[in-house]
A and B are shown apart, each in its own frame.
Chain A
Amino acid sequence: MKDIERFRKRAIFHHWWIVLCSFLLAVTGLFMFMETLSPGAMGGYSRIIHRFAALGFVAVPIIYFVLNPKTSLEWLKEAFTWNTDDIGWLQAAPEYYFGGPEENMPPQGRSNTGQKLWMVVVIITGVVFVITGAVMMFSGVSGVAVILHDIAFIAGGAMFLVHFFLAVFHPRMSEAMRSMITGKASEDYVKSHHGKWYEEVVAKGEQS
Chain B
Amino acid sequence: MTNHWIDLRNSDRIMIIGSNAAENHPISFKWVTAAKERGAKLISVDPRFTRTSSKADIYAPMRSGCDITFIGGMIRYILDDMQKSSPSERAEKYNMTYVTQYTNAALIINNSFEGALESTHPGLFGGYTASKNGTPGILGSYNKSTWNYADSTTPASDPALVNNTWTAWEDLDSKCVLRLLWENYKDYTPEKVEEITGCPKDKFLEVAQTYAESGAPGKAGTIMYAMGTTQHTYGTQNIRGYAILQLLLGNIGIAGGGINALRGTSNVQGSTDMCLLSHILPGYLQVPIHTDQSLDDYIARAKKGKDFITPQGLAGDKSASWWWYNDADPNYKKYLVSMLKAWYGDNATAANDFGFNYLPKVTSGDDYTHIGTFEAVAAGIVKGMLVWGQNPAVGGPDSEGERKALEKLDWLVVSDLFETETAAFWKRGGANPGSINTEVFLLPAACSYEKQGSISNSGRWAQWRWKALEPIGQAKPDLEIVDELALKLKELYTSEGGEFPEAITKLFWDFREGAAEADPNIAAKEFNGYDWTTKTALTSFGNLKSDGSTCSGNWLYCGMFDANGNNKAKQHDPVDKSLNQIGLYSGWTWCWPINRRIIYNRASVDLDGEPWDKDHPVIKWTGSITKWAGDIADGGWNPINLSAEGAKYLPFIMHREGVGRIWGDGRAEGPLPVAYEPWESPLETNLLTGVEDTEANGTPGFNDPCCYIGKMEMDGQVWNERGTPDNYPYVGMTYRLTEHWQAGQMTRNLPWLIELQPQPIAELDPVLASQKGIESGDIVEVSTARGSIDAVAIVTKRFQPLTIGGKTVHHVGVPWHWGYTGQCTGISPNGSSGNVLTPHVGDANTTIPEYKTFLCNIKYVRKGGE
**Complex contact flag A–B (Cβ < 8 Å):** no
Residues of A within 8 A of B (CB): none
Residues of B within 8 A of A (CB): none
